[in-house]
Structure 1
Amino acid sequence: MSVTYSLHTSRRLPKPRAVLTLIKPITWFPPIWAYLCGVVASGVPLSQAPWLVLVGMVLAGPVVCGMSQAANDWCDRHVDAINEPDRPIPSGAIPGRWGLWIALIMSAMALALGALLGPWGFGATVFGVLAAWAYSAEPVRLKKSGIWGPALVGLCYEGLPWFTGAAVLSDGAPSWPIVTLALLYALGAHGIMTLNDFKALEGDRQTGVNSLPVTLGPERAARVACWVMALPQLAVVALLYAWGSPWHALAVGALIAAQLWAMRVLLSDPKGRAPWYNATGVTLYVSGMMVSAFALRSMGGF
């Protein structure tokens, strides 16, 4: 099946509502939450630099994440013409090359805003912007890989904002326990991103995107995703206990137990239940992130 996408539509300017849809506000929560986890884990009082907290939240969510969504939709316009033709670009609500211009303008905005957060914040912003384009755009297009694509997105959604929040508030490199937990939760997010690929299964198959649901099939991909989500969290529990925070470890363990129940529901119908799990199991996952951040805070950020 071939699908053609035309840049020529009757519209000359994008619809304002379509622009908001393009940058997907619902996707802003994970990086904002992760940034706040880093802020909490740093041990620095929020009242010491509230503007750094606010600027970082805006940067992580609406600007960098929104930019990445615009870039992805522009680069995926042919895939979306198969999977979701009502999206802003394939539907013509955002005509011509406006999707590309929006992504480029927001990339510049991200770098300008990141410069306000000092060298650590700016460096993290540069990495985030480059990663967004590397994920979506040819010739790199890491999205084609079911391994590297979700790994990069998990890193940028959970690990990088956590690292950035801690670095910006502490005005220096975060401690190794903060980096370790940020990386573990970023690794676990690989499974979350794999489940997110279920919605694009047909279009990915037709356009050569080798996501895990395409290469392994929905059932096996869902099982792999569950293991990838669970094992890093179990490592977090072990580390928190070893670091002298047994109650925080117990709380994270309880959240994992609830996720295991949700995983059983997911595996009964992986493709149909994936959206349900993304609302239920992921909420439990990110709750564990914040519990872990408060554990680090109680230790003085190590």
Structure 2
Amino acid sequence: MSSVVETGRGLVELTRPSNSVAAGVLTFLGAFVAGGVAESPTATAAAVAATVLATGAGMAINDYFDREIDAVNRPERAIPRGAVSARGALAWSAVLFVAAVVAAVVLPALAIGIAVVNLLALVAYTEWFKGLPGVGNLVVAYLTGSAFLFGGAAVDAPLAPGVLFVLAALSTLSREIIKDVEDVAGDREEGLRTLPIAAGERTALHVATIALVVAVAASPIPFVLGTFGPAYLVLVAPAVLGMLYAAYEAYDDATVGQTHLKYAQFLAVVAFLAGRLLSPGTGPM
């Protein structure tokens, strides 16, 4: 019985529930900012479900391809510690992908198109782009930010959350680069050519910091455009300060820096939600 429980726990861990749910929240927020949640509740729910399922599938298949790297960098993960076999992780990923496709079939053609592009980008990332300097980081940044576009497209307003797409993509780009600095040992052993390996860890951290500074500088735009009200500024201020401090921390400890950056990103999402909820009179971006 304990082995069944451990396997079940491992399957859940493979999906990175916090990341998958967070991606679903971004999709919901994309539809919400576009003003389409009340008008298209079924499409919104389908888009959120498809995002959560596809993100979980992507996380699982990434762990499948990274199992040898994780044996060095993160031996506590489900595959390296033996909770789930590599084949089991691959099968679980396929099940989640199929479920995501089923959820997405009711969506408008443009939303389905975005989903197909994202699926191809995810496969390309795991197979070819992950080990290329900066390229893999850009793909993950796009995939994260595109959750906003997907939510908007689900309610026939794909460009409405465009600024949020840019902000999310830039902050994610920064965190992904910092994570590569954290993973240098295992990536080098696997022969990957990530940005910190190709250009040096300090140079990579400089690039991550620049991306984050641009995102922070652009963060007031939703308020300036009238998309979010004052509540957004109140909550986004500590979020951006936390992001900048996390970038500073990363120069001494990449693990601490990327972890704190993740927390700051979650706070930024809360700022997006609060800014829209408490500003009912504002329009889409």
The interval holding the TM-score normalised by the smaller chain is 0.7 to 0.9
TM-aligned CA deviation for residue 202 of structure 1:
0.9
Report if the CA contact (8 A) 1:52-1:117 is conserved. Answer: yes
Aligned length: 282
Question: Residues 246 and 230 of structure 1: is their aligned pair in 2 closer, same or farther, counting only changes over 3 Å?
Answer: farther
Tell me the alpha carbon deviations over residues 164-215 of structure 1, each in whole angstroms, 9 at most, x when there is no partner.
Answer: 111212xx2434x532442343133210222233442210111122223333
Report if the CA contact (8 A) 2:178-2:250 is conserved. Answer: no
Equivalences for 1:92-103 in 2 at 5 Å?
A: 92-95=82-85, 97-103=87-93
TM-aligned CA deviation for residue 38 of structure 1:
0.6
The residue aligned with 1:233 is: 216
Q: Secondary structure at the match of 2:218?
A: helix
Report if the CA contact (8 A) 1:89-1:95 is conserved. Answer: yes
Distance in structure 2 (CA, Å) of the matches to 1:71 and 1:252: 35
1:194 maps to 2:177: yes
Report if the CA contact (8 A) 1:143-1:150 is conserved. Answer: yes
The residue aligned with 1:150 is: 137
1:300 maps to 2:283: yes
Q: Secondary structure at the match of 1:149?
A: helix
1:56 maps to 2:58: no
Equivalences for 1:167-182 in 2 at 5 Å?
A: 167-169=153-155, 172-175=156-159, 178-182=161-165
Match of 1:107 among 85, 94, 97: 97
Distance in structure 2 (CA, Å) of the matches to 1:220 and 1:284: 27
Report if the CA contact (8 A) 2:54-2:100 is conserved. Answer: yes
TM-aligned CA deviation for residue 149 of structure 1:
0.8
Equivalences for 1:218-229 in 2 at 5 Å?
A: 218-229=201-212
Equivalences for 1:3-14 in 2 at 5 Å?
A: none
TM-aligned CA deviation for residue 277 of structure 1:
1.7
Tell me the alpha carbon deviations over residues 213-256 of structure 1, each in whole angstroms, 9 at most, x when there is no partner.
Answer: 33344444333212202203313425742669784785477246
Equivalences for 1:61-140 in 2 at 5 Å?
A: 61=52, 63-95=53-85, 97-137=87-127
Distance in structure 1 (CA, Å) of the matches to 2:235 and 2:217: 9
Report if the CA contact (8 A) 2:72-2:186 is conserved. Answer: yes
Superposed CA RMSD:
3.2
Percent identity of paired positions between Structure 1 and Structure 2: 22
Letter of the structure 2 residue corresponding to residue 40 of structure 1: F
1:209 maps to 2:195: no
The residue aligned with 1:283 is: 266
Report if the CA contact (8 A) 1:259-1:285 is conserved. Answer: no
Distance in structure 2 (CA, Å) of the matches to 1:260 and 1:266: 10
The residue aligned with 1:39 is: 31
Gaps of 5+ in 1: 1-10
1:15 maps to 2:7: yes
